[in-house]
Structures are given as structure tokens and as C-alpha cells.
């Protein structure tokens, strides 16, 4: 299997590898930062998708970070989903960063999706952090979902 690493553009890239593994990545770049997206597949898989949604900022002093989502699977599974829901604050200056999404699979799987949803803020001075979501499975499972719900603060 060759290593196709080409420069990402605003268009979605689709490449077909051996074993009918389809890897499609979609990046929008409008003053947004994507640090690292890594997709590795070693076996019979139908589809792997790694997506980072647009990051939006808006108005007063605040920092939100979604840090690491890691999905590893070693056996027959139908679907694994690891999601971090939007973090909401409000109003005044802010920085949002989506850092690392890593998907590794070693066996027969139908679909793996790792997504980081848009982060929105609103309303003065506050920090919310969702840190680590880790899903590991070693056996026959139908579905695993790990979610972190939004945190809302009222000053």
C-alpha cells in the first residue's frame, strides 16, 4: 500500500486504496486552524471518515478547547462513534482550537466516524474544556458511543 500524502486543498480529497478502503477528508480553511488529522487502516474496511467542522468565534474573552479523541478497535464491530458536542458560552473575544483526531483500526469494521462539532461561545469570561474521550473495544459489539454533553455556566 502506497503512502499518499498530498497537500490538502479546499476540495474534498478522495482516493481509492487496495481492499476498497475509501478515505475522504474535508477541510474548510477560512482563518481556521486544523492541527492534525491522522487516519490509518490496516484491514478490510468499508469507510473511514475523519472530519473537523468549521470553528467559529465571537465576542469576549474566553477559551474553549477540545483536545484528544482516540478510537481504537481490535475486533468485529459495526459502528464506533466518538463525538464531542458543542461547547457554548457567550459574547466577547475568544479562541477555539481543535487539535488531534486519530483513528486507528485493525480489523473488519463497517464504519468509523470521529467528529468534532463547531464550538460556539457567547457572553463573557468563562472557560470550558472537554478533555479526553477514549473508546477501546476488544470483542463483538454492535455500537459504542462516547459523548460529552455541553457545559453551560451562568455567572
Report whether 119 contacts 64 (CB < 8 A). yes
Cα of first residue to Cα of last residue in the chain, in angstroms, is 54
**pLDDT in the model for residue 152:** 61
The counts of H helices and E strands in the chain are 0, 10
Is there a domain that residue 11 lies in? no
How sure is the predictor about 67, in pLDDT bands with cuts at 50, 70 and 90? very low
**pLDDT in the model for residue 16:** 40
Residue 65 has phi, psi (to 5 degrees) of -135, 135
Most confident of 26-30, 38-42, 82-86: 38-42
The whole domain housing 95 covers 33-148
Is there a domain that residue 20 lies in? no
pLDDT one-digit tens code per residue, 79-104: 455 554 444 544 444 444 544 445 55
**pLDDT in the model for residue 145:** 52
Is there a domain that residue 136 lies in? yes
**pLDDT in the model for residue 132:** 44
Contacts of 55 (CB under 8 A, 6+ apart): 32, 33, 96, 97, 98, 118, 119
Is there a domain that residue 8 lies in? no
Q: How many domains does the chain have?
A: 1
Q: Quick count: other Cβ atoms within 10 Å of Cβ 152?
A: 11
**pLDDT in the model for residue 62:** 44
pTM here is: 0.14
Amino acid at each position: 500500500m502506497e503512502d499518499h500524502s498530498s497537500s490538502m486543498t479546499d476540495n474534498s480529497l478522495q482516493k481509492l486504496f487496495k481492499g476498497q478502503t475509501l478515505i475522504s477528508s474535508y477541510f474548510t480553511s477560512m482563518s481556521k486552524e486544523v492541527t492534525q488529522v491522522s487516519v490509518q487502516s490496516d484491514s478490510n474496511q468499508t469507510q473511514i471518515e475523519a472530519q473537523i467542522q468549521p470553528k467559529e468565534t465571537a465576542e469576549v474573552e474566553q477559551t474553549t478547547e477540545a483536545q484528544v479523541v482516540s478510537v481504537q478497535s481490535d475486533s468485529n464491530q459495526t459502528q464506533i462513534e466518538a463525538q464531542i458536542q458543542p461547547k457554548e458560552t457567550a459574547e466577547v473575544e475568544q479562541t477555539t482550537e481543535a487539535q488531534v483526531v486519530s483513528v486507528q483500526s485493525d480489523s473488519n469494521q463497517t464504519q468509523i466516524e470521529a467528529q468534532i462539532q463547531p464550538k460556539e461561545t457567547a457572553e463573557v469570561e468563562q472557560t470550558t474544556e472537554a478533555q479526553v474521550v477514549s473508546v477501546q473495544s476488544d470483542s463483538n459489539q454492535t455500537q459504542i458511543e462516547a459523548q460529552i454533553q455541553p457545559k453551560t455556566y451562568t455567572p
